Amino acid sequence: MNPPLVGNIPSEMKDRRQWVAWKYETRKGKLTKTPKDPATGGNADPTDPATWASIQEALIRMDNDKLDGIGFVFSESDPFTGIDLDKCLDPETGVLEPWARRWVDLLKSYTEITPSGTGLHIIVKGRKPDGFTHCRKGHIEVYDGDRFFTFTGKVFNADGD
């Protein structure tokens, strides 16, 4: 894993103490991204701010423990919502699936390539509507709290893929 391109991450997010490090781990035969507490190195909890820290602390933990990356935890105290578009990008050619292109074009917001190279994370300001409880539909997930997204800083160039 290459280090995240921190300079590309929106400053408004970098300034918040909502960062964790993360590591690939296998659970029940499936590879998953486990959030790690930057202060202790133990598991972080996306519902417990005591296990989050600054982006600098998350980067230090990532380096010291040779973890796979850093992530931002969405909470009710921030204005951000994350949209995760899975399996939409060809990592060899950079070609984006038409259904994902519609989301990128519609939202016109910070968009980066996920660690796998096959998905996108779009960050917008806003909240899910009240009563909107389902976070996943097909290859799209939407979260505005109690969840973390990995951050690579590899900005997706919507105009030149």
The catalytic residues are 84, 86, 121, 141
Residue 157: CB partners within 8 Å, gap ≥ 6? none
Q: How far is CA 122 from the centre of its chain?
A: 8
Long-range pairs for 34-41: beta carbons < 8 A, 24 or more residues apart: 35/71, 35/73, 35/148, 36/61, 36/65, 36/67, 37/61, 41/65
